[in-house]
Chains A and B, each alone.
Chain A
């Protein structure tokens, strides 16, 4: 017998100081549409986010297609089969185009497709190349819902789809398209777990679950969905996505580049390099700008704090998109510029060291920033208080570089 698409075993989950779920069990098989419909605060979103391995478990385990994805012992592994996820917050970046975001979702499933007919069904075809930030709230929600449905729409293999309040903000035609798609995808063998109070969504359930008891509903037969995806080999998706985010937003220049240039400008405003003979001091000035750029933090992590985009990514990949290309290139350029300003000419060795300084600093700051992502208000925490830990290693690098 084939394993369930989703299996929750003895789940206990805390949110804040309250235990939201206790000894919760759920098995979801192919062709199941489970609609969770408890009162506010009952734990519907907690179930969805636990399934997507976004919440730590006090007890129990979550399995996708029979394989463990997260348990209370702290074990976490990627789901072996792609799954769809729509969070209550859209998880979208305002600077991404609709096309780019949905193509990335296809790539996460290892597939590609022509997105036009799918977008057309939801009235978004004309917005295909627009940035998500330019869309209305309802249109952005449609994109988030489509991102959740796509893994099933592309695949002929059964896929698990998790949708948290997908109906919020949808107009009537989009809601009708969603209900129709859920029915067709169910007939094709895919399974859904949906948190919703909407009567239309509840009507399309095969199992209505109020987190305590369950009611089974019969659904009429309909035409099954025809898979649209073509297999595609995808590698370095997180790195490529990070690079694309930076290209479309120029956040790397805005945050890190400008910080470094401000440091260079400030130093030059007070110091005449020609009057200084202390080599260590001069090298320190040169390496100050890549160091400052690194301290500004990973611009991609900063971007992904929008609408819980980081959480959406965290559910799907082990390594979040990052500024992998930006760090060494920007470090090299900034150090070379510093060499011209302070040392009368480009020093290649020093430029390479500067590249490494920016890269390592950015990695450390990124690690510290990601450590606080689980907090309720990660932006409010005083993370920069911990960054002076990087000053001593930087000073040692400066001393070494001065001897070259």
Chain B
């Protein structure tokens, strides 16, 4: 049963994400027509915000894994790094894609190179893509792990920068709707409920994804070790 936990997380997370989509598109109330250029497009927010939340969890795992490998040479840390990078890439792409769709409808342009939040989050996703593709292009070894772990550590600087971006330099990206620090919230309770289901579902999904990814990396390492033994190496 314990071996099936990642698959269970993936399954429950997937069902939750589909539920969120259904509720977000059909059940949650519409936003004020006056406040938005394209109120219908705003419903993508039920996908965009939870996927961004999951992406930050993945980037946190990536940072932890990078630090564990870089400072402790922990094989478990390297598996965390690999899983965090892959999950960060998947969630980052979902967030960027949904944001671009909303931006095209609301602002008339999918991207704004002068907006700090868009740029820092886009860069985090590119960093994850760099780590995933880069790792696949290199033979496994301490040189590869050290180099990519150091990029993982440096790249994490972008996470707090992304978090504060809309609080400090709000240009195009909307300000925070949760944890804005003003005591109240701009969300109706039904909206907040859908968002909560979305955040929980994405979290379960991404945790399941990372656990499976770590298992695959572990199996790859065992396979490589077995091949080296057959080659007569150590």
Is A386 part of the contact surface with B, judged by Cβ < 8 Å?
yes
Is B34 part of the contact surface with A, judged by Cβ < 8 Å?
no
Identity of the chain B residue whose Cβ is nearest the Cβ of A384 in the assembled complex: B130
How far does the Cβ of B229 sit from chain A's closest Cβ, in whole Å? 12
**B114 x A376 contact (CB < 8 A):** no
Identity of the chain B residue whose Cβ is nearest the Cβ of A391 in the assembled complex: B113
Are A391 and B119 also in contact (CB < 8 A) when A14-B141, A18-B233, A382-B130 are?
A: yes
**A372 x B147 contact (CB < 8 A):** yes
Return the contact of A16 from the options B119, B122, B139 (Cβ within 8 A): B139
Docked complex Cα distance between A56 and B147 (Å): 12
Instruction: List, in ascending order, chain B residues with CB within 8 A of A399's CB.
Output: 114
The bracket for how many chain B residues form the interface is 20 to 34
Instruction: List, in ascending order, chain B residues with CB within 8 A of A376's CB.
Output: 138-139, 141, 143-144
Docked complex Cα distance between A35 and B122 (Å): 53
Instruction: List, in ascending order, chain A residues with CB within 8 A of B130's CB.
Output: 381-383, 385-386
How far does the Cβ of B99 sit from chain A's closest Cβ, in whole Å? 15
Instruction: List, in ascending order, chain A residues with CB within 8 A of B228's CB.
Output: 17-18
Q: B136-190: which have CB < 8 Å to A?
A: 137-144, 146-147, 150-151
Instruction: List, in ascending order, chain A residues with CB within 8 A of B127's CB.
Output: 385-386
Docked complex Cα distance between A15 and B145 (Å): 12
Docked complex Cα distance between A18 and B234 (Å): 6
Docked complex Cα distance between A385 and B142 (Å): 22
Is A388 part of the contact surface with B, judged by Cβ < 8 Å?
yes
Docked complex Cα distance between A401 and B130 (Å): 32
Docked complex Cα distance between A388 and B119 (Å): 8
Instruction: List, in ascending order, chain B residues with CB within 8 A of A199's CB.
Output: none
Interface of A is mostly: mixed
Docked complex Cα distance between A372 and B147 (Å): 7
Identity of the chain B residue whose Cβ is nearest the Cβ of A387 in the assembled complex: B126
How far does the Cβ of A134 sit from chain B's closest Cβ, in whole Å? 33
Docked complex Cα distance between A184 and B130 (Å): 52
Interface of B is mostly: helix
How far does the Cβ of A68 sit from chain B's closest Cβ, in whole Å? 21
Are A395 and B134 also in contact (CB < 8 A) when A375-B144, A385-B126 are?
A: no
Docked complex Cα distance between A376 and B116 (Å): 35
Are A17 and B140 also in contact (CB < 8 A) when A371-B147, A386-B127 are?
A: yes
Q: A360-404: which have CB < 8 Å to B?
A: 371-372, 374-377, 380-383, 385-386, 388-389, 391-392, 395-396, 399
Identity of the chain B residue whose Cβ is nearest the Cβ of A392 in the assembled complex: B119
- A-B pair count, CB < 8 Å, reads 78
How far does the Cβ of B146 sit from chain A's closest Cβ, in whole Å? 7
Instruction: List, in ascending order, chain A residues with CB within 8 A of B123's CB.
Output: 386, 388-389
Docked complex Cα distance between A372 and B146 (Å): 10
**A388 x B147 contact (CB < 8 A):** no
How far does the Cβ of A327 sit from chain B's closest Cβ, in whole Å? 23
**A377 x B114 contact (CB < 8 A):** no
Is A220 part of the contact surface with B, judged by Cβ < 8 Å?
no
Docked complex Cα distance between A383 and B137 (Å): 12
Instruction: List, in ascending order, chain B residues with CB within 8 A of A388's CB.
Output: 119, 122-123, 126
Is A271 part of the contact surface with B, judged by Cβ < 8 Å?
no
Instruction: List, in ascending order, chain B residues with CB within 8 A of A385's CB.
Output: 126-127, 129-130, 133
Identity of the chain A residue whose Cβ is nearest the Cβ of B142 in the assembled complex: A14
**B114 x A392 contact (CB < 8 A):** yes
Identity of the chain A residue whose Cβ is nearest the Cβ of B135 in the assembled complex: A381
Return the contact of B114 from the options A372, A389, A395 (Cβ within 8 A): A395
Docked complex Cα distance between A41 and B143 (Å): 17
Is B224 part of the contact surface with A, judged by Cβ < 8 Å?
yes
How far does the Cβ of B154 sit from chain A's closest Cβ, in whole Å? 9
How far does the Cβ of A366 sit from chain B's closest Cβ, in whole Å? 16
How far does the Cβ of B93 sit from chain A's closest Cβ, in whole Å? 13
**B137 x A16 contact (CB < 8 A):** no
Docked complex Cα distance between A18 and B142 (Å): 9
**B142 x A16 contact (CB < 8 A):** yes
**B137 x A380 contact (CB < 8 A):** yes
Docked complex Cα distance between A392 and B233 (Å): 48
Docked complex Cα distance between A16 and B224 (Å): 12
Docked complex Cα distance between A138 and B105 (Å): 65
Docked complex Cα distance between A371 and B137 (Å): 16
**Which of A382, A383, A391 has the most chain B CB within a 10 Å cutoff?**
A382
Identity of the chain A residue whose Cβ is nearest the Cβ of B158 in the assembled complex: A389
How far does the Cβ of B50 sit from chain A's closest Cβ, in whole Å? 25
Docked complex Cα distance between A389 and B147 (Å): 19
Q: A331-360: which have CB < 8 Å to B?
A: none
Identity of the chain A residue whose Cβ is nearest the Cβ of B224 in the assembled complex: A17
* Residues of A in contact with B (beta carbons under 8 Å apart): 14-19, 41, 56, 371-372, 374-377, 380-383, 385-386, 388-389, 391-392, 395-396, 399
15 further interface pairs, Cβ-Cβ under 8 Å (given A16-B143, A381-B130)? A14-B141, A15-B142, A16-B142, A56-B142, A372-B147, A376-B139, A376-B144, A377-B137, A377-B139, A382-B133, A385-B129, A388-B123, A388-B126, A389-B123, A396-B114
